[in-house]
Each structure stands twice: as structure tokens, then as C-alpha cells.
Structure 1
């Protein structure tokens, strides 16, 4: 079968399907090639199902704490199977929603595994994995194996869990996050290797349900991408919850038992010790899916394991583009979506703005939540800025006290000379929702004076943001 398109997108994840929809909106004949499931890792095995799990943890935590709120609750329990099932239902619902949106926008879905052929050609073969979700055909005729032509080909193949030597997952004793999302039962003890967003979220989830969690990180700081002060605050909170955290520590050995593993840990001082746990979760990041795409044959430039692009998704080969995780970090769904729209608008000849990675917010949905945008204090100083730093604790906020969530901190970093907001960092309740206010401010190049003159509603957690700005300039009211 041979069919021609203006745009073919390889990969139906957040970057891919958003790019396809925007292309269709601009009148471009568009197809998406997907080998496994629409919505990609984010909707099916990442962002959405993990948040569903964490919501169950939040409800359980509140139920346990009911007496503090004057609510009488009999001894709360939980159904692990139902918690997992609800998570999968959320993923399935959104997966079906993506299919509906593609059909609504008259975008063909080509089921199979794609490979770049000669210039402007995409060869689609049988998928190496069966589709997890029902295949959603194109409006008229289901499409599959064959050769397809396109003026513009966008590679949006995403990423997969990084496999560390000696920690190769087996789906039973050694997990990736895929396995951690759908356990047959909750283990009594769990080792989480890697204290980035993925590792911290799973550590938080499992600890809430009583699992003995040890979190190991090779770097000196958990949440290495975050401001050191915020990461230290989060660490203290996690440890209060009973999570054992070992930084500057690596796993140098693993022995499998009948229903558990014995790991050998090496600390910063070079000393080693063993730890026995029921399950080990490898959460040491992800790697881009660049293999078996035919990139090398076309001469598409690669750099540090990802496809090299400019700020608009263009590679060094005309007509070939890359967006999302496969084009490099930050490997976040919202970054992929933004790149997809910018890439397609550039293809269509519209004014398009290259992605500014310094304005990509990061969110971690642990308890307490962590969110940030822009430079950390350390990086701002390293870049040569004279900084003014504002801090405001949740403990001084009326809404946080009323919610029973007084544990948190908002930190803002300004250029002392110009008043420019360089970075904002939050840890505490609803931090992942609050961060958008600072995202908008930085995108609009808002000054400290404008932020100080802005009226924040009372009583809200957002007042902590205002007070942090005021504090940076010696004007905080409530501390």
C-alpha cells in the first residue's frame, strides 16, 4: 500500500498526537504511525496512571488522618487490586480520547512499526509488540503495513526506562516503572534506585501504603534538577514519613532469592553493605528510542543519544524533524506538546518561536509536591547574576493552616539589578498547580514590581507566591 501525506508523525504520544492535530488544523493531510498504543508512555504508563495511583494514596492518607479534622473514620484499609484497576481505567479512558480526537480531525492512524526509507518515505512493518489497546482505524480504511510518502516526517518515538547493568528488570523481582504501576500485591519492602521525579513519586506512593521504602541516589542530592534548598526540604519531609534515603550511594551487586533480592550498596566513603528487600525498582531515568528508525542511513545527526534538532524540531536532513523525548531533555510531556506545535507551525510557514528550555516547568507529584521553573539559586549565581532571594513558608499562610498542610516553602530568585524573575521553586501542597503562575510571569517577562502590585486572592495558597516575591525585596507581611 502506498499513500501520500503532507505530514507523517511517527509515534502517537503527547508530542506526536498533538503535532498531528495541529497539522490537521492547518489543513495539512496528516497520518500518525503507532506501534503499540495511542497516547504513548505518558497516558498509558506514565503521567496519568501514576497520578491516579498517587490520588489513591492521598485519599488513604487523609482517611488515616480523619480524626485531626474532626471526622470519625473507622480504621481505613485499602484494596491494592482496585487501586491499580482505577489507575488503568484512567489510562484507558484517555487513550480512547486520543483516538477520538485523531478521528475527529480526520487524521489517519497507521498501525505498525515505522522506519525511514528513502527521502520522504516511511516504511511500516508489523509491530514487534501487539497493540495494548483496540486499534482505531482511519475514517475510511484501516491502514497498516506498507510504504507511505510524506513531504514532512516528524519523529516522536519517545523514550523507555534506562536499564542499569546488574539491575536488568525481570518483571517480578526487579521492576521498571511499568511493573511498579501494576503490582499483583504491594511488597513489604522496596528499594527504589534513582531519586529523580519517577523514583521519588513511587517511593512516596508505596510508603503511604505502609511499604518499607529505601531510596538510593548516586548523586549527593535527591531531585537533582531542583534547587538544593527545596530538595533538602523535601528530603526532610520524606524521612519524617519513614522513607530511608541514601545519597551518594550506588548499587554494586544484586542477588535474587525466591521472593526477594539482596543488594549490595556502596557509599561515598567506598564502604559497602547489603540490604534485603522484596522488590527493587530501577528508576534511573529514561533513554530515547532512536534505534531501528533508519536515521543513520539518511544521515540524521545524533548527539548524546538523542536526535539533534534546532529549536523548531528541524534535523540536519530536510524534511525530517524530531520532537519530544527523542529530541532530548527535559523529557516531559508538556515540553513534547509545545515542540510539536512549534514544529508544525514552522512547517506550515507560520511565525514560530523556538523552544526556550529555561521556561519549561518541572513537577513532581510526591507528598509534598515539588515544582519549579527557571534557574536554581546556585545556577543563577554561577551564571554571574547578583541575586535577590525570597522565601515564604506555608506555615505563614492561612489557607495552608486551614487545609492542615502547613509543610511547604516557596522560593523566588530575582536579578538584583533588573528585577527580572530568574527562577521559582516550590515544595508543598498543590505546588504543581501553583507553578503555572510563575510560568506565566516568566513568559511575559514580568518584573518584581508588577508581581508585588498584583492582587492575589485570599485565602489561597497562591498568597505564598506573593509573599515570597515581597520577601525578596524586604517587604513580606506575614513573616
Structure 2
């Protein structure tokens, strides 16, 4: 059927944190907007990613505190957990937030079209064809079309590294376990792998993490990675770094992994395996090749405003490549929409100020360049460090293991990067993000008054440390 001309100013395909935020911003700018979603409002993040995993990790954190109640002068005779209740709480949190996105769509008068979208040539933008659950199709025309279809877990079928939902899990399967695996193998030590390793370890699983490079959390500063490994190993986690999983063989109710490390090969048997070896963009079945959109390594190539090079077609979020983070997708969506609207303050997206967070125990957070990357880029650096053991609030919380590290350009005072490990650092990192976005130097950070007693005081002390002025160590 022929589409009516310009049913909408903007159609967004995908309702994750990139898509729905972009849709809302577009309505604020006076556009008539529709959003297409094939599964659940809120996308992977709200339903099967960021939010429900944090609910699981919160249960693990409470369990950890209960186990250590004696150190706080409290008596808890027995600590135990109900796995199905833990999972149910996580799913309920996801359901609540997905419903909240539905409310936001109604509030902002955004039309929600449920179904699977594909594209075909059209003007002034590609025509969007939506197939509903009954298989019926309908065409929609907009002045602009934005892809926010996200990504999914990477698999390597040739080596048997392919999820089956039973023995070999993706993050999605790992969120809804029917029983607790006694032995768990996690392949990949990025944020997703480490978070699940931390969760299952706290609940009592015997967890081994395999990482292909020579250290865990490879995108983090080396000093932070080393400290993280030391703390995780204290908790009972096992790591194999510089290791390759050559194959996975499924048995009746277990998996045998062949792992190569240091020129030697060994086998590990586990009840379940979690694949956390990266993600691939959801670019299939959209009609992108016919439209002429450029795709590299499963990701759509865009400029700093989300433009694909195809008239009227834009892409944002995980679909466009790393960093694969919800807050990056949201920000990209806003910049893209403001560019479409011709907003005067629109500027190209800059990934260098996007913070990364890992919600394990302990937490890890960072922004900007690591010390090694700063030196590789030719900077002469000043490095500041402050340990949690020197902070009164950390000691009072019973969380005195951790570190705040800052990296400055020795000549200009520019904050090149900040790296943290310890309690609540995922809540602290935004201070350094603001400093980088505002182009603050060490002078402004030193003059800033931080409240006492707080964990944030360590951020101040780390800056002072870089310039030989640290006060409390």
C-alpha cells in the first residue's frame, strides 16, 4: 500500500533509553512523533539490562551486609535467600519502569506502534513498514526516521559459544535462573561479565571468569583492574586471564569448556556458562543494505549528529557502536533530534566524556583517559590517588577498601581522566564528568568545597594529591 505523505515529523524505531528519550525531546521541540517497538517499552535496558540487573545486585548487596552484620554490632542468626523471590523482585522493578515509559509516551502525545519495523526507499525519508503480531503490515511516512534498535549478545557458533537458554546463558537468561548453579563459568570480564560473576558469587556459586586479554576489566585503568581482581579473589572469585575458550561441549546438565592459556590447555566443567563476550548491532531485516546505509562490524556508521548518509535516516545508541551504554544512547538521541530541529546549540556527540560504571561489589567507575592512554597520547601527566582507608565516611560505612585516582595534564591542569573503585563510586563519578564537560582545571577543583563527612571528599583529596597537597594521608 502507498503511505500517506508525512504521517509524522519523526518515527523512532526502538523504545530503549535512546529511542524513547529522543522521542520525548522531539515532542518538546514541536514535532509529531511515533515510536515503533517490537517487544516491550523501555527496550533491553529497562526490561532485561541496566535496571533489573541492578535490582539483582541490590539483593546480593543486602545479603552481603546481612552476612557481615556482626561487624556492625548487629545479631542476625541466619542469612539465607529465596532465589525465585529475588528474581521476582527484579522482574517487578522492570515491569514498573516499563509501565513508566508507557506513561511518558501518553504524557508527551507520542504514538506507540507495536510491531516489527523495516524500511524501504521513500522521500523525504525511508518508508517505515510495521508488521504487527498478527502478521499484518502497515506503512508509515515521516520527514525523519531514527533507528534505535540496540544490540544483542555476541555468539561464536563455530566454537559452541552460542546460547541455548538452558546450559549456555546470555545476560537475559542469567537474570531469571530457576536454580542456583553450583559451578558457573563466565566468559568475558567486562562490566556485564563481572556484574553477574559478583552476583552469583555472593549467592554461593563457585564462579570462574575467563578473559582473553591479560587482565580483567580491560577498558579500566590498570591499577583499578588489579585492585578489583585482588578484592574479587578475596571474595572467592577465580580468574583465568590471557585465556581463550576453544570450545564448549554440552552434556546432559553441564558444560565442558576447553580453555587454552599460557600455551597449555585444560578443561573445566560447569553447571552453567554465561557468555559476556561483547555485543552485535541489531542491523538485520531492516532493509539498510538496500537503502545504502554503511554498516561496519554489525554497527551503523554515523557522524556526530546520528546522520547515516541516507536522506532522512538517522541512528543512535548501541546500534552505532561503543561505548554500549544507556546514557550514551540517551545523549546521542537528544543531540540527533536537536540537530534535526536546527537547534542553535546542537553540537556533535563526544564519547570522551561518557562515564562507565560496573555495579559489582566493589563498584568501579571511570571517565576519560587512563594513565596509560594519557601517556600514549603524548601528555605529561600528574597523577593523584586517595585510598578509601583515609576517609572517615568510608570507615564508618565499613567500606574502607577502594581508591580514587585522577590524571591531569601536567602543563595545562586539564583533568584527563578519573578512575574509582569502592563503595558508591558509580554515584560519585558524575562530579568528575561535570568537571571534564565544564573544562575545569585542578585550580577550580581544589577550590571546590566538598561536604564532610562524605565519600566525595576523596575526590577532592585525589586532586590535591596530584599536586602534592593531599591532607589526610
- Aligning the two structures, in what range does the TM-score lie when normalised by the shorter sequence? over 0.9
Give the 4+ runs in structure 1 shifted more than 4 A.
Answer: none
Please, which of 117, 124, 147 is the counterpart of residue 155 of structure 1?
147
Q: Deviations 1:132-180 (Å, cap 9, x if unpaired)?
A: xxxxxxxxxxxx7300000100000000010123111111111111110
Superposition deviation, residue 235 in structure 1: 0.6
Equivalent residue, structure 2, for 1:135: none
Distance in 1 between the 2:320 and 2:250 partners? 36
Distance 1:63 1:128 in 2: 49
Q: Give 3-state SS (helix, strand or coil) of 2:141's partner.
A: strand
**Alignment check: 8 A CA contact 1:391 1:411 kept:** yes
When structure 1 is superposed on structure 2, of 294-303 and 199-208 the one drifting more is: 294-303
Q: How does 1:171-190 map to 2 (within 5 A)?
A: 171-190=165-184
Within the candidate set 67, 72, 88, 2:70 is matched to 67
Q: Which residue of 2 aligns with 1:133?
A: none
Superposition deviation, residue 255 in structure 1? 1.9
Alignment equivalent of 2:268, drawn from 269, 275, 283: 275
Conservation of the 8 A alpha-carbon contact between 1:409 and 1:428: yes
Question: Number of paired residues?
Answer: 464
Secondary structure of the residue aligned to 2:117 is: strand
Alpha-carbon displacement from aligned partner over 1:8-67 (angstroms, at most 9, x marks no partner): 001111100000111111110100011111101000000000000000000000000001
Match of 1:122 in 2: 128
Q: Indicate yes or no: 2:414 matched with 1:420.
A: yes
Give 1:12's aligned residue: 15
**What per-residue deviation string (whole Å, max 9, x for no partner) do you get for residues 264-283 of structure 1?**
1100x221011111111111
Corresponding residue of 1:206: 200
Query: Which of residues 322, 332, 339 in structure 2 aligns to 1:339?
Result: 332
**What's the secondary structure of 1:14's corresponding residue?**
coil
**Structure 1, residues 350-380: CA drift from partner, whole Å, max 9, x if none?**
0201111100000000000000000000000
Task: Name the CA distance, whole Å, in 1 between partners of 2:250 and 2:307.
Answer: 46
- Residue 393 in 1 paired to residue 399 in 2? no
2:85 paired residue number: 82
Q: Which moved more, 1:416-425 or 1:1-10?
A: 1-10
Describe how 1:3-402 pairs up with structure 2 within 5 A. 4-119=7-122, 120=125, 121-126=127-132, 145-165=137-157, 166-267=160-261, 269-351=262-344, 352-402=346-396
Report the Cα distance in structure 1 between the residues aligned to 2:250 and 2:407, rounded to whole angstroms. 47
Per-residue deviation, 1:128: 9.8
SS of corresponding position for 2:420:
strand
> Distance between the aligned counterparts of 1:465 and 1:254, measured in 2?
44
Higher mean displacement: 116-125 or 193-202: 116-125
Give the distance between the partners of 1:288 and 1:127, measured in 2 at CA: 23
Q: Residues 424-454 of structure 1, C-alpha deviation per residue, up to 9 Å, x if partnerless?
A: 0000000100000000011000110110111
Q: Distance in 2 between matches of 1:164 and 1:467?
A: 45
Superposition deviation, residue 328 in structure 1: 1.3
Gaps of 5+ in 1: 130-143
Contact persistence 1:8–1:152 (CA under 8 A): yes
Q: Which runs of 5+ in 2 are unaligned?
A: none
Paired residue secondary structure (2:393): helix
Of 351-360 and 300-309, more deviation after overlay is shown by 300-309
Shift of 1:192: 0.2
Give, in angstroms, the shift of residue 394 of structure 1.
Answer: 0.2
Query: How far apart are the structure 1 equivalents of 2:378 and 2:25?
Result: 39
Distance 1:224 1:363 in 2: 13
2: distance between equivalents of 1:409 and 1:99?
Answer: 40
**Deviation (angstroms), 1:250:** 1.2
Between the aligned partners of 2:77 and 2:43, the Cα distance in structure 1 is 40
Tell me, what secondary structure is at the counterpart of 1:17? helix
CA contact (8 A) 1:113 1:128 kept: no
- Work out the CA distance in 1 between the residues paired with 2:286 and 2:456: 46
CA distance in structure 1 between the aligned counterparts of 2:133 and 2:162, rounded to whole angstroms: 24
Query: What is residue 433 of structure 1 aligned with on the other side?
Result: 427
8 Å Cα contact 1:111-1:145 kept in structure 2: no
Partners in 1 of 2:251 and 2:312 — Cα distance?
52
**Alpha-carbon distance in structure 2 between the residues aligned to 1:335 and 1:221:** 25
1:127 CA drift (Å): 5.0
Contact 1:36-1:127 within 8 A present in 2 as well: no
1-structure distance, mates of 2:330, 2:94 = 18
Partner of 1:464: 458
In the TM superposition, residue 253 of structure 1 has moved relative to its aligned partner by 2.0
